[in-house]
């Protein structure tokens, strides 16, 4: 596993257009700093993506937990396929998803990633149990999930403060700890070019189902649409990996809960030069509302978050052609006007 961030997604010294994301301080959010809450609100409204600095003491060692779980997962992904498929339960919140079950990032391709998912309380499940290697490090995984969740809930409560929400309207109320939900910690491995077929290509463009996706990625690959680009331009900017920072983005559930105020931005993952010889790893904690939470979706329907969740997973698995027939894959944000407003800069 590479331990240093590559200087560029490319093998040569070609220019690379990078999304200019705001950086929000978790330490300041934890102390309810109104200015930081305001900066977060603007980032959620305008960009939909931002970095969260999690290197301060207030983050309680989350970054080092991340490195610990990454080591366990990198070793588990090396186990033979016959072993891994024993955990393929067909669930979208718990267990293994092999390569190629969804569409890939280019027309006609299949996805190029495998995933192990851990549901809320999933470490304790006796039905659909997790692999022994994960359970042997249960305390580490528990800490990692709880701390990630604590960070996301702080983001949600800061957004409630910044937008003046009270009582049951507050975003953390629809994500309370005592309510069951489809929240899930997901570990992705994008196998290197040496061990995957050429028609397994990255992760197709999509918006996330979740309220907030909280991503750990120390390798290039993630992209957002270039500012002002038309869908047919197919122009994308890279999201630069940054040590000590989570990459956070608003997903459909928070976009809908906020009455379309916050921006759920399209993104995708493309294979990069490093993946000719190394696997790419990313970990995402998808925080989703408690079961039964209602909102109006991009098709104008009042719908529960659970129904949206299952429609969305069906469409992730549909063909590219099927995906184009409605607004579910992209949450209705394909038009140039409502796409990313993130500025970009060019690095060489």
Stretch that binds ligand AKG, among 213-221, 288-296, 310-318, 333-341 (CB under 6 A): 213-221
Under rule CB under 6 A, residue 201 binds ligand AKG: no
Nearer to ligand AKG (CB atom), residue 155 or residue 185: 185
Under rule CB under 5 A, residue 252 binds Fe ion: no
Under rule CB under 6 A, residue 112 binds ligand AKG: no
* CB-CB neighbours of 324 under 10 Å: 11
Candidate residues 208, 252, 274, 297; the one interacting with Fe ion per rule CB under 5 A:
208
Q: Which residues contact 45 (CB under 8 A, 6 or more apart)?
A: 261, 262, 263
- Least distance from ligand AKG to the Cβ atom of residue 222, Å: 4
* Residue list 266-325, contact with Fe ion (CB under 5 A): none
Nearer to Fe ion (CB atom), residue 131 or residue 202: 202
| CA nearest neighbour of 216 among 249, 171, 167, 169 | 249
Binding flags for ligand AKG, 284-323, as an x/- string (CB under 6 A): x---------------------------------------
245, interface contact from Fe ion, ligand AKG, none, CB < 5-8 Å by kind: none
Under rule CB under 6 A, residue 209 binds ligand AKG: no
Q: Are 92 and 182 in contact (CB under 8 A)?
A: yes
Nearer to Fe ion (CB atom), residue 249 or residue 344: 249
Under rule CB under 6 A, residue 331 binds ligand AKG: no
188, interface contact from Fe ion, ligand AKG, none, CB < 5-8 Å by kind: ligand AKG
Under rule CB under 6 A, residue 224 binds ligand AKG: no
Nearer to ligand AKG (CB atom), residue 145 or residue 162: 145
Under rule CB under 6 A, residue 208 binds ligand AKG: yes
Nearer to ligand AKG (CB atom), residue 162 or residue 248: 248
Nearer to ligand AKG (CB atom), residue 120 or residue 282: 282
């Amino acid at each position: 596993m590479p331990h240093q961030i590559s200087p560029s997604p490319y093998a040569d010294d070609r220019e690379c257009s990078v999304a200019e994301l705001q950086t929000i301080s978790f330490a300041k959010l934890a102390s309810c700093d109104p200015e930081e809450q305001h900066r977060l609100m603007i980032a959620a409204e305008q960009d939909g993506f931002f970095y969260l600095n999690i290197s301060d003491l207030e983050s309680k060692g989350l970054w080092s937990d991340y490195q610990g779980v990454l080591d366990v997962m990198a070793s588990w992904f090396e186990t033979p396929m016959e072993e891994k498929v024993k955990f393929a339960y067909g669930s979208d919140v718990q267990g293994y998803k092999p390569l190629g079950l969804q569409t890939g990032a280019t027309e006609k391709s299949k996805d190029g990633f495998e995933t192990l998912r851990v549901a809320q309380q999933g470490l304790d499940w006796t039905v659909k149990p997790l692999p022994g290697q994960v359970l042997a490090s249960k305390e580490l995984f528990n800490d990692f999930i709880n701390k990630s969740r604590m960070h996301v809930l702080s983001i949600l409560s800061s957004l409630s403060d910044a937008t003046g929400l009270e009582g049951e309207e507050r975003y953390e109320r629809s994500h309370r700890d005592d309510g069951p939900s489809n929240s899930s910690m997901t570990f992705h491995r994008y196998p290197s070019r040496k061990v995957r077929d050429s028609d397994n290509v990255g992760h197709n463009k999509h918006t996330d189902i979740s309220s907030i996706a909280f991503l750990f990625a120390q390798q290039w690959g993630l992209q957002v649409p270039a500012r002002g680009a038309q869908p047919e331009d197919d122009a994308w900017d890279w999201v630069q990996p940054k040590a000590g920072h989570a990459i956070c983005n608003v997903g459909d559930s928070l976009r809908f809960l906020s009455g379309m105020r916050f921006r759920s931005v399209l993104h995708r993952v493309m294979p990069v030069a490093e993946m000719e010889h190394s696997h790419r790893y990313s970990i995402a904690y998808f925080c989703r509302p408690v079961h039964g939470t209602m909102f109006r979706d991009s098709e104008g329907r009042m719908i529960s978050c659970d129904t949206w969740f299952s429609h969305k997973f069906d469409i992730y698995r549909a063909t590219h052609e099927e995906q184009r027939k409605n607004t579910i894959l992209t949450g209705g944000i394909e038009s140039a006007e409502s796409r990313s407003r993130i500025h970009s800069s060019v690095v060489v």
